[in-house]
Structure 1
Amino acid sequence: MIRRLRQNKGWSQTRLAAEACRAAGLPSDSLTRQDIYRYEKGKRTPREWLPFITAALGVPLVEFQQAAGAGAQEGVPVTVADFLPDGDPLAPLKAGHGRRIGARDVTDLAGRVHGLRLADDVLAGGDLISPALRELKSAVKLYREGSHSDEVGRALLSQIGELAQIAGWIASDAGRHEEAERIYKLGMSAAQQAEDRTLVGNLTGSLAYQYSNTGQEQEGVALARAALDQTGEDAPAKARALYLDRVAWAHTKANEAQPAMRALGEASEALAEDGEGRESPQYLYWVDAGELQVMDSRVYTELKRPLRAVPLLREVLARYDATHTRELALYLSWLAVALADANEPEEAAATAQRVITLSADVASERTAERVKVVLQRLEEYRDVPEVREVLDEAA
């Protein structure tokens, strides 16, 4: 109940702790974000703090007392907080007393983060994991050891969150999934502390996407939905479109066709509103109608609807930047599977050969796994000479 009411106000756990301290007339550090985290997870009962939390949230004390007496309720919606680790991964990141950190330092860090993001467009995770982790470590050190104003501190936390999103994505692409999960959760905590709900949603959705692709389909659905709920209806159009696409993919991997198709339609509707509301963050520069088409085609392929998937994939690939080798190989892999599903084994074999050739020098676990999927799908057509040649050469 505390979590739901706090999120309805758009407050972070840090904000609620500060408001409760204000209601109690006590110093602002008398109740911490970690205390609120424990209350919301059910690890501890507020007791003497309950009247002040109720006052901060503007709800009668009796309603909280009844909720406390009722215990855990079934069917409570999953939220981002449910997936955060025990303890605060940002706990050691307290502002230090070193050199003064200013807006210029934040700007410099933002430039490096965006540079890493652009590098990921053309390089694979295995090539970028080391520099990504070095940048993340450096950013954390900057926050821990420097002194800064509250405004600069929040800006630094936002950059740590953005850096964690791209570093987590890179680690996942390199096949280091446990490390990616830790990085994503670090970023989620940083973004929450910075009170950047859109960034929290991006990190949460990225982790949901990894779950969906690594055999944790139901966790992927729950977390993708939580990411969407986190941002709310007033989120920037590109953000909402992206998070709805991740919801669609999560339902697809869980073999839930109807909610997946609904989410695809809602994603297109959301993107159509771009420019009408809040400006989308720079890190969503790549989200456009073409990228939504890619997700549409992938969902159709996974749901065994090749008549929809093949034309979309061909349209996307016809205009795709050839320097983005990893993405080109990934999208071709879905085309190969869709062609096989459409009973076009010869063309599927030719497309599969392009996937294998492109993937040969790409240090990406994603492309390596997709090659396996394509080859497995082609086994059904081993009697076709073109297919047999591809399979034998791959073996």
Structure 2
Amino acid sequence: MVEQHQPRKAPPPWAVRLKAERLARFWSQKEMARQLFEAAPPEVQAHFPARTSLMREIRDWEAGRWRPGDMYRRLYALAFGIDEADLFAEPLRPPRKNPAEVLAAILPGGDPLAPLGSRPGRRVGQSTIDDLSARVHALRLADDVLGGEDLIEPAFRELGAAVRLCRESTHTEANGRKLLSVIGECAQIAGWVASDAGQHAQAAQAYGLGASAAREAGDGTLESNLVGSLAYQVANVGDPGEAASLAMAAVEAAGSNTLGRARALAWDRLAWAHTREDDAQAAMRALGEAGEALAADRRQEGPGYLYWVDAGELQVMEARVYTELRKPLRAVPILSSVLTRYDATHARELALYLSWLAVALADANEPEEAASTARRMLELSQDVASDRTAGRARVVLQRLEPYGSVPEVRELLAAYPAGA
């Protein structure tokens, strides 16, 4: 009689990911146990199991025999520097598409900017284009001090008006290209505002429309900014692999002859996408490219939408990358320095940057300082109608939970339960 063997059940995706992430770092299971221990705060370490017992647990988790409990899931996320939700998600990361494929997918079907038949319409001249451009820049400046929920309605009203003007008017070929560029700029700020309001699908549609307008206008710098903006959103709320492909498309759209600020911004967004993929080496290479691009910038006059790109902003991204990769001793000095000279009227950005500092301080085992920074961040966020700051508040409070026995942290968690 031939013995019948049951096929071995494949481990779940999260178990495959735990083993793959460990092996990618050349860690043995013994080293993995040590990393989990070091990721834990002292009060948790005091109750840790013996190393050999924890190694048996690691073998069982990687085989998918059972799922780690809440505490160990958090420690895995800290040890790997990966968001817990991403690390333990059920589907595995799909293979990365090439930049051209991803870019083609975001461009709207048909031609939403085509003229409406033979309708005569009014003739648009330079003064009208200048007025539109000034209105778009006013939206940018408003975005510095207002949240997305406050600005989403006027931003999309301006975008709709600009698209209608393009379709229903007549103009010279040169003014037509300028009008398309203004539409692209308006779509970029509208998309950014929608993303800040948590309306990610609406933001993606705006970015796609803007990229189409920029491409038709032959404006590679603007196309790069739009595609890079979408890459940034996808890195934060979607598939990091897709974000990296989009960010590379933004780098390619910027080219090598455009303004250094534009190239630096594209490389900066690629660095963040690689960070969200947990590809530290690629992220650091992209940060280096961003720095070189900005150093080569001659500060000649450029498009208004690049007004905020400077060395300080690149430092913030560098610190965020270090924080996400769990290198807090590098992140804390950079963020502390930048925040001392940051404009306090830009409450949302200040709150966001404080959130990264709070997380870095927690990772550096400085819970008292982290709680103080988090409190300042949360107080600033209360009057900002921003989905971004709300999301970061939840991240900060979750990161502080393991330090709940520290008085300052305990008081903070009691004052802001679940990010409320």
Does structure 1 residue 318 correspond to structure 2 residue 340? yes
Does structure 1 residue 220 correspond to structure 2 residue 243? yes
Using the TM superposition, name which of 203-212 and 279-288 deviates more: 279-288
Q: Alpha carbons of 1:75 and 1:363: their partners in 2 closer, same or farther (altered >3 Å)?
A: closer
1:146 Cα deviation from its structure 2 partner: 1.0
How far, CA to CA, are the matches of 2:131 and 2:232 in structure 1?
Answer: 29
Partner of 1:308: 330
1:88 Cα deviation from its structure 2 partner: 2.7
Does structure 1 residue 260 correspond to structure 2 residue 279? no
How far, CA to CA, are the matches of 2:218 and 2:115 in structure 1?
Answer: 16
2:243 counterpart SS class: helix
Partner of 1:38: none
The partner residue of 2:121 within 98, 107, 124 is 98
How far, CA to CA, are the matches of 2:262 and 2:148 in structure 1?
Answer: 23
2:322 counterpart SS class: helix
How far, CA to CA, are the matches of 1:77 and 1:133 in structure 2?
Answer: 31
2:343 counterpart SS class: coil
Note if contact 1:88-1:189 (Cα within 8 Å) is conserved in structure 2.
no
Does structure 1 residue 333 correspond to structure 2 residue 352? no
Note if contact 1:90-1:189 (Cα within 8 Å) is conserved in structure 2.
no
How far, CA to CA, are the matches of 1:225 and 1:378 in structure 2?
Answer: 34
| Aligned ranges 1:1-395 → 2 under 5 Å | 77-79=98-100, 81-85=103-107, 87-94=109-116, 96-275=119-298, 279-395=301-417
CA-to-aligned-CA distance 1:207-235 (integer Å, 9 cap, x gap):
00000000321110000001101121112
Q: Which amino acid aligns with 2:122?
A: R
Aligned-residue CA RMSD (Å) = 1.7
1:279 Cα deviation from its structure 2 partner: 4.8
1:147 Cα deviation from its structure 2 partner: 1.1
Q: Which amino acid aligns with 1:305?
A: K
Q: Alpha carbons of 1:131 and 1:91: their partners in 2 closer, same or farther (altered >3 Å)?
A: closer
1:286 counterpart SS class: coil
CA-to-aligned-CA distance 1:327-359 (integer Å, 9 cap, x gap):
000000000000000000001011111111111
TM-score, L = length of structure 2? 0.74
Note if contact 2:260-2:297 (Cα within 8 Å) is conserved in structure 1.
yes
CA-to-aligned-CA distance 1:46-95 (integer Å, 9 cap, x gap):
xxxxxxxxxxxxxxxxxxxxxxxxxxxx9984226423346235254458
1:137 Cα deviation from its structure 2 partner: 0.8
5+ residue gaps, structure 2? 1-94
Using the TM superposition, name which of 89-98 and 109-118 deviates more: 89-98
Q: Which amino acid aligns with 1:375?
A: L
Q: Which amino acid aligns with 2:365?
A: N
Note if contact 2:97-2:245 (Cα within 8 Å) is conserved in structure 1.
no
How far, CA to CA, are the matches of 1:199 and 1:94 in structure 2?
Answer: 25
Q: Which amino acid aligns with 2:374?
A: A
How far, CA to CA, are the matches of 1:234 and 1:261 in structure 2?
Answer: 23
Q: Alpha carbons of 1:235 and 1:349: their partners in 2 closer, same or farther (altered >3 Å)?
A: same
5+ residue gaps, structure 1? 1-73
1:268 Cα deviation from its structure 2 partner: 0.7
